[in-house]
A and B are shown apart, each in its own frame.
Chain A
């Protein structure tokens, strides 16, 4: 009898051990192949960016003009650009710029977006009204136009690009957080918490905030992808690093697009592929996160 009891307990305890919501989500994520591909691409991107000095075969800024526009060869795996610089090395170093801009812009955007969204969602009323009208105004401006204006105003460079993209992200994050807070404020479990006399402050910190994080995680991941494209776009338009020899993916496209028809297509192709792969990685992971964090898919 006692023995039976113990066995029963073990079988019940087993599946519960350490099984939390986040762990469940992680398990679902691991079983999503596309998300794993995304994670691999992101991992590669981050690894390359961090260890650029160690893995880049050549100095990305030094080139020999005599060797310009060399097609891919064992010596220069992805060929050389118009100044004879090794394209592979420039792409590897360029990952740093893209990673820096995307992380900085999303972090800044998240900080301000969360503040605006949280204030609008929590306080409601006229605070909410005016915050959301500001958000509407910002969203009605074409994104690229807004970022270009900001960059022109503040001067080109990676940090101003990141700041401009952050400004573009603020209304998006604010709106997502506000809408999920509004939904959660009226959800059954906050009503249930209210019905047992929980304080409003506790309801906000324990019930509303943790639940509104999941859409923010997804939005932030997807915003990283957009930031890479935007940064490359601004770089392409000439708002990138002021020192033209600094490797940046978008700037690399600008340098070479005039020679595309002159048989040097690979000089634009490879940076383009790098941009696509990095963006694809974040998008795949974002989609996977969306699905694995979705409470409706939880049993």
Chain B
């Protein structure tokens, strides 16, 4: 597959055929199964999928923070600003973390050290990369950072501890820590999942604002389509450790093609469409990632499945056949990995048009086998 970008855009991150495995008791879990994607500077990318689809593992792999010794990058490249991060020595990778790429974690309640002050934690990141920075300069910078993320009385807060802050405030501090050295890429892994709804909106607005102000690219990982809808330029839908569909945010919401994306969209209430349609859940469970399988991983749960889906795994390819792939940037094209993508009409109803008989329903044996395979080893 040829991946090309208009020359005007700076390619910031290029992930090529990344595969991540975890050693577990019964076998290897293939958490990420060969994903390829690009991110250009200043871009905001949403990565969507259900629990266990490999979103967080992808971000940890990029950061070089996979839990050791269980997790490892089995294959692929992570090229950041021209450097392949996969081959870096631990010390080189450490020097890049925080300075070039930073991360905001899911749970602000546990991501701050409870026994040291906010100041120590902020000054830590500033001085971790440049020990020549004087303490007073680092303190000054820490105050500015807290102001930037909207924390009142920064000087007082710096002396305080994590437990004296609310969840939203703590996430603001985490964002301030991530921003401290002007990284080019900030990976936000479910940054609002642990927060209540009103705070979620504030934090998302904050991430968007600081991204604009500092020019950092954002990779926003979430299971919540509502979160990405408002603030990302491009979305990538993941299922079973691979990317099944990617498009600009508008395009994806308007013309979802992959049955899984359709399912995700039809399983959340939409206020903007102004109707009271029943929600359609996606039946079944994600596949067992410890076993090799043939065919599309979503096929056992898919109403659109045809015979082909059970035998061959579809590649991510442009929706319009023959189109050149543009992997990132505002002109990125709509690509889907599906043998029998949904049409706009089908996407609107959330079910395949009448007359289509799912290959799965047709071959009930295959379905039973797939179900048995899923149940045999519950993860």
A contacts, CB < 8 Å to B: 9, 12-13, 15-16, 19-21, 24, 186-189, 191-199, 202, 206-207, 210-211, 295, 298-299
Closest chain-A Cβ to B118's Cβ sits at a distance in Å of 11
In contact, B156 and A13 (Cβ under 8 angstroms) = yes
The listed residue with most B CB atoms (<10 A of its CB), out of A15, A24, A193, is A193
How many residue-residue contacts, CB under 8 A, span A and B?
A: 98
- Does residue B159 face the partner (Cβ distance < 8 Å to A)? yes
User: What residues of chain B lie closer than 8 Å to A210, measured between beta carbons?
Assistant: 113, 115-116
In the complex formed, the residue of A with least CB distance to B157 is A16
* Pair B128/A197 contact, Cβ less than 8 Å: yes
Contact (Cβ within 8 A) B164 A16? yes
Cβ of B129 under 8 Å from chain A: yes
Query: With A16-B164, A191-B105 in contact, is A198–B124 under 8 Å at CB?
Result: yes
Q: Would A197 and B114 count as touching, CB distance under 8 A?
A: no
Instruction: State whether A197 touches B163 (Cβ < 8 A).
Output: no
Judge if B110 is at the interface, Cβ distance under 8 Å: yes
* Assembly CA distance A287 to B63 (angstroms): 41
The answer on a CB contact under 8 Å between A189 and B98 is: no
- When C-beta atoms are compared, the residue in chain A nearest to B115 turns out to be A210
Judged by a CB distance under 8 angstroms, whether B369 is at the interface is: no
Question: Among the listed A16, A186, A211, which residue makes an inter-chain contact with B113, where contact means beta carbons less than 8 Å apart?
Answer: A211
Whether B102 pairs with A21 at a CB distance below 8 angstroms is no
Q: Cβ of B177: which chain A residues have Cβ within 8 Å of it?
A: 192, 196
Of A188, A191, A194, A196, chain B has the most CB atoms within 10 Å of the CB of: A196
Contacts of A196 in B (CB 8 A): 97-98, 102, 124-125, 128, 177-178, 180-181
When distances are taken between beta carbons in the complex, the residues of chain B under 8 Å from A19 are 160-161, 164
A189 touches B128 (CB 8 A): no
CB of B65 closer than 8 Å to a CB of A: yes
Per the 8 Å Cβ criterion, residues 114-169 of B in contact with A are 114-116, 120-121, 124-125, 128-129, 152-153, 156-157, 159-161, 163-164
A15 to B96, CA, bound (A): 38
Report chain A residues within 8 Å CB of B113.
189, 193, 206-207, 210-211
Partner of B153, one of A13, A189, A195, A202: A13
Bitwise, B168-212 to A at CB < 8 A (1) or not (0) is 000000100110110000000000000000000000000000000
Is B103 interfacial (CB-CB < 8 Å)? yes
Q: A189-B112, A197-B129 are in contact. Are A20 and B161 (CB under 8 A)?
A: yes
The reply on B99 being an interface residue by CB < 8 A is yes
Q: Is B95 an interface residue (CB 8 A)?
A: yes
CA distance A13 to B164 in the complex (A): 12
Q: Which single member of A21, A189, A197 contacts B161 (CB below 8 Å)?
A: A21
Q: Is the CB of A199 within 8 A of B94?
A: yes
Q: Mark interface residues in B45-83 (1 if CB within 8 Å of A CB, else 0).
A: 000000000000000000101010000000000000000
**CB distance B163 to A189 under 8 Å?**
no
Q: Given that A189-B111, A196-B180 are contacting pairs, would A206 and B120 also be in contact in the complex, using a CB cutoff of 8 Å? A: yes
* CB-based contact A21/B163 at 8 Å: yes
Q: Which of A15, A206, A299 has the most CB atoms of chain B within a 10 A radius of its CB?
A: A206
B159 cross-chain contacts in A, Cβ below 8 A? 16
Can you report 22 A-B residue pairs in the complex whose CB atoms are below 8 A from each other?
A: A9-B153, A15-B164, A19-B161, A21-B115, A189-B111, A191-B111, A192-B105, A192-B177, A194-B94, A195-B103, A196-B97, A196-B125, A196-B180, A197-B94, A197-B96, A197-B99, A197-B125, A198-B124, A199-B94, A206-B116, A298-B114, A299-B163
CA of A267 to CA of B223 in the docked complex: distance in angstroms? Answer: 72
Q: How far is the CB of B238 from chain A (nearest CB, A)?
A: 21
B124's partner among A21, A186, A193 (CB-CB below 8 A) is A193
Contact of A188 among B67, B95, B107, B116 (CB under 8 A): B107
**Pick the contact of B65 from A21, A24, A187, A191 — CB < 8 Å?**
A191
A-B pairs, 10 with minimum CB distance: A197-B98, A196-B98, A197-B97, A188-B110, A196-B125, A195-B103, A192-B111, A210-B115, A189-B113, A188-B111
A198-B124, A207-B113 are known; give 18 further A-B pairs, CB within 8 A.
Answer: A9-B153, A12-B152, A15-B164, A16-B160, A19-B161, A20-B161, A21-B115, A187-B110, A192-B103, A192-B105, A193-B121, A194-B94, A195-B103, A196-B124, A196-B180, A197-B94, A197-B99, A207-B116
